[in-house]
Structure 1
Amino acid sequence: MNTPTFTRRALFLSAALLSTTTFASPLADRLERPSRLTAKAQFAPLIDVQRVGDQLVMVGAEGHILLRKADGQVEQTRVPVDLLLTAVHFVDDRQGWAVGHDGVVLHSDDGGVTWTRQLDGRVINALMLEWAQGEVERLQAAASVDEQALESARFALDDIGAGAEAGPSRPLLDVWFRNAREGWVVGAYGTLLHTADGGSTWAYVAGLDNPDRLHLNSVMGLDNGDLLVAGEGGRLYRQSAGLWQPTQVLTPASLYKLTQLHDGQVLAMGFGGALLRSRDHGQHWQAITLPSATSLYGAEQLADDSLLLSGQAGLLHSRDLQHFRVLQPRNKAVWLGAATLPDGTLALVGSRGLRLLGREEIKEYLQ
């Protein structure tokens, strides 16, 4: 098993950045060492952002979690780990989770002010080994042995065991919670875990048709109760009524992000300008042609229902998902995500940290 040098929506990160955030210190050190407080945190790479009430919560390199308060002040919170954080998700103004490298899951119950560690790669390794060993034993004990399935299970056990020997080296790349109790995290090598008690305990989910354990980059629940997971090789996995449906291959390109629009449409986006939409909760998909093949990492629907896509070469804006305009704020950067504040200010996060665009500046770009 190779150690990955990527994160969901962060494939752009240079080898230099990865060397400092991923390999700079022993694995145990990163999990046990708190993130360093620095006045420059908001200018370091930020990977994800979510509006929570009237403030922003942002996560990024070296365990940085930042809050932008309603008064405009940006504060760095104390975080118990010093490693790359890749995604954040709040279900309300208080309950939220962040995930990152080394299989870490962090939880906040006060709107992002304080964080505790709920899970890490060591526990994930144990959960996966327990599942794989149980699968081998189950198949061996069957009245009629399925030799092919048994061989696959033995291979999975050996592969998971080899990965566990490397330590907690399973990056988590996305997180989504249905409510304050039930949630999912996804990550490298087909990692998918589920909790039904707010993250106190987790279970490894092995129901996906993903024998090659391709990376899972994005997870999202829909308004009809279905769950979608997207990842490497354009794979789309959909759980409906508790059952996993046949795997769909939407595109040869890897998918990095899922989002649902106000009208119920679902978008999947990713490498090389891959953009697809579904009008029936992920059952069928239509490819959307873009003016450039730039990789896409995030989406934000604005107050007028137009869409802003963030990516490798800047921003794409569209009012109808047919015509797109390429935008690039003056300080050029790779933008990984965006969020709109109550006053109409647009917050962008990416390779150069946080960038705020006021309403007048937004109008200038969108004219």
Structure 2
Amino acid sequence: MNHPASLRIESPSRSNEQRRLSSLLVSALPWTIIAGLLYAGLFVKPKAVGGSVTPPVLERRDRVYGITHGEGGALLAAASNGKILAIDKGRKITRQATPVDLSLQDIAAFDAMHAVAVGNDNVILYTGDGGRHWAKADNVPRSQVANKLNRVRTGANGMAVAVGEMGALLRSQDYGKTWQRLREEEDLAWNDVAILDGGTFVVVGEFGKILRSEDGGKRWEKQAAPVASSLMATAFRDASNGVAVGLDGIVLTTSDGGRHWTSVKLAAHDHLLDVLWNADKQEWFAVGALGRWISGTQGADGPQWNSGVLGEHTLSWHTRVLAAGSAYWLAGADVGAWDGRQWTPLDSH
């Protein structure tokens, strides 16, 4: 017996209710998403995955302009961004806290505890505890035109002399705490000063300019130089004999305390930026651009000069050289030691 098929017919009112509910859910969906995002943004705090990366104390972009001896055989280095770095005998680097972020152009030590650093905007820092604490000198003389101190040298009894832009020639007699101007400003940059016995100062700067004072900076005399290029550094081995170096490979020598200078002809013409006298090795040593170095040993007719580079692929510039034991430490675009045969850069880590 056949039974008629059972047909299920939706009620029109029920179908309309479902469509209205579906439409309501669809229209509310964007607002639900927005509300969820707002909640996540306001109340859900993301958690970092893994540990944070601490940058090395000496970063690749850092420039180290000055270097000096510190406490216990360590070295102190002045760098960009207000950094002062301590390098121990094991080549471990630590950063000393400073109150500035201006680039420091030079650093010099009075003794194991006292040191002074100078730099951009005429900033001067000093320490009396080996660098554990650095303070900023107040009321440093300034120019209304330009302010940058290029070099600082230390002498006996807490005396220091700093030189720089706009004829800056400043002196401190209390380990760098207070400073006085020794000359009126002028449109000229001084790059280095040698402090000799008896209160004699010899200053070198742009355009081959040389100044000399025999009374601690009260009176100054201009000395003639046989070059017109900028002189970048000078050093003396005693009160009479000195050397000055500069751009284009310039080397000048004096045997009368800086009154008269003679030019030395060398084959290399790379810029020379610093020079020192090494009493232990009885030699002059200078460094500069493109890894260039020169050395001069005393002979019967004056210094006998040699020249070379740190390495075939070592073309960095260096603004400072420091004698340390049997090697020289160089600072500039990078930092490292030269033993006369091999260049060993400082590992930033």
Pick from 126, 134, 145 the counterpart of residue 115 of structure 1. Answer: 134
2:173 to 174, 196, 200: 196
Q: Deviations over 1:189-245 (max 9, x none)?
A: 1112222333333222226xx7x4311111220134301111111111111034434
Q: What SS is found at the alignment partner of 1:316?
A: strand
Residue deviations 1:296-339 (CA, integer Å, cap 9, x gap):
11124443222321011322233343332212234331122222
CA drift of 1:180 comes to: 4.4
Give yes or no for the alignment of 1:124 onto 2:106: no
Note the alpha carbon deviations across 1:238-291, whole angstroms, 9 max, x for none.
Answer: 110344342123120111111112685211111111211111211121111121
- Are the equivalent residues in 2 in contact too, given 1:104–1:119 (CA < 8 A)? no
Point out the structure with the larger strand share: 2
Name 1:337's counterpart in structure 2: 320
CA distance in 2, matches of 1:66, 1:176: 19
Equivalent residue, structure 2, for 1:58 = 77
More helix by share: 1
Contact 2:241 2:254 in 1 (8 A): yes
Matched residue, 1:272:
248
Q: Is the 8 A contact 1:86 1:173 kept in 2?
A: yes
Question: Could you give the per-residue CA deviations for residues 42-83 of structure 1, whole angstroms, max 9, x where no partner exists?
Answer: 642111111235121111211121111133312121111111
Q: 2:192: which partner in 1?
A: 218
Give the corresponding residue for 1:101.
Answer: 120
**1:346–1:85 distance in 2 versus 1, CA, 3 Å:** same
Is it true that 1:311 corresponds to 2:288 in the alignment? yes
- Give the unaligned 5+ runs of structure 1: 1-36, 129-159, 164-168, 363-367
Count of residues in Structure 1 that have an aligned counterpart in Structure 2: 279
Alignment of 1:127-138 (within 5 A): none
Call closer, same or farther: CA 1:323–1:204 in 2, change over 3 Å: closer
Q: Specify the SS of the correspondent of 1:313.
A: helix
Q: CA RMSD in A?
A: 2.5
Structure 2 distance, partners of 1:82, 1:304, is 38
Q: 1:246 to 1:112 in 2, by over 3 A?
A: same
Deviations 1:120-147 (Å, cap 9, x if unpaired)?
Answer: 6xx523xx6xxxxxxxxxxxxxxxxxxx
Q: Residue 281 and residue 358 in structure 1: after superposition, are their counterparts in 2 closer, same or farther (change >3 A)?
A: closer
Greater Cα radius of gyration, structure 1 or 2: 2
Counterpart residue number, 2:101: 82
Partner SS state of residue 124, structure 1: coil
What is the identity, as a one-letter code, of the residue corresponding to 1:317?
S
Aligned in 2, Cα 1:268/1:360: closer, same or farther, shift over 3 Å? closer
* Residue aligning to 1:325: 307
Shift of the 70–197 alpha-carbon distance from structure 1 to 2, 3 Å rule, reads same
Q: Is the 8 A contact 2:248 2:270 kept in 1?
A: yes
SS at match of 1:110: coil
Residue 132 of structure 1: aligned partner: none
Aligned partner of 2:51 in structure 1 is none
Task: State the match for 2:237 in structure 1.
Answer: 261
Matches within 5 A, 1:228-239: 228-239=202-213
- 1:183 and 2:202 aligned: no
Residues 216 and 38 (structure 1 numbering): CA distance in 2 closer, same or farther, change over 3 Å? Answer: farther
Unpaired stretches in structure 2, ≥5 consecutive residues: 1-53, 344-349
Counterpart in the other structure of 1:356: 337
Flag the 1:288–1:118 CA change in 2: closer, same or farther, 3 A: same
In structure 2, how many angstroms separate the alpha carbons of the residues matched to 1:279 and 1:42? 42
Between the aligned partners of 2:240 and 2:88, the Cα distance in structure 1 is 30
**Given the superposition, is the C-alpha separation of residues 283 and 200 from structure 1 closer, same or farther in structure 2, using an over 3 Å criterion?**
same
Answer yes or no: is the 8 Å Cα contact 1:174–1:218 preserved in 2.
yes
Contact 2:154 2:160 in 1 (8 A): yes
Percent sequence identity over aligned pairs: 22
- TM-score, structure 1 length as denominator? 0.69
SS at the partner of 1:233? helix
8 A contact 1:265–1:277 mirrored in 2: yes
Counterpart residue type for residue 276 of structure 1: L
Normalised TM-score (structure 2): 0.72
The one-letter amino acid paired with 1:221 is: I
Bigger relative CO (Cα 8 Å, ≥ 6 apart): 1
Aligned-partner residue type, residue 282 of structure 1? G
Number of the residue aligned with 2:346: none
1:249 equivalenced with 2:224 (yes/no): yes
Go from structure 1 to structure 2 and tell me whether the alpha carbon gap of 1:70 and 1:261 turns closer, same or farther (over 3 Å shift).
same
Change (3 A) 1:285 1:99: same
Q: In structure 2, what is the Cα distance between the partners aligned to 1:247 and 1:38?
A: 48
- Aligned residue for 2:86? 67
